[in-house]
Amino acid sequence: MQSASTVHYPDKIRLRVPRGLPDALRLAAKQRHTTPAEWARQALLRGLEAQGVQLCECRPSEVAFDPTNRNLR
């Protein structure tokens, strides 16, 4: 029997959302048999990718002050 691995993400983000979004998020996650947090994380990643934005593994301060960083444009 295989054991499931758990991934811990160190960073958190808080958002203000319109009424009804938390319920819709729970429903969407249930349909995909996942948690609302994981569904939201994956949806955000897909949205960023669709916009041509890639994640950067560097520290935020490095990105903010690097004028050559094309992800900020």
pTM for the complete prediction? 0.66
Domain boundaries along the sequence of the chain: 21-72
Torsion of CA 12, 16, 19, 22, to 10 degrees: -10
Q: By CB neighbour count within 10 A (0-12 exposed, 13-18 middle, 19+ buried), where does 41 fall? A: middle
**Structure confidence by residue, pLDDT tens digits, 9-60:** 888 899 999 999 999 999 999 999 999 999 999 999 999 999 999 887 666 5
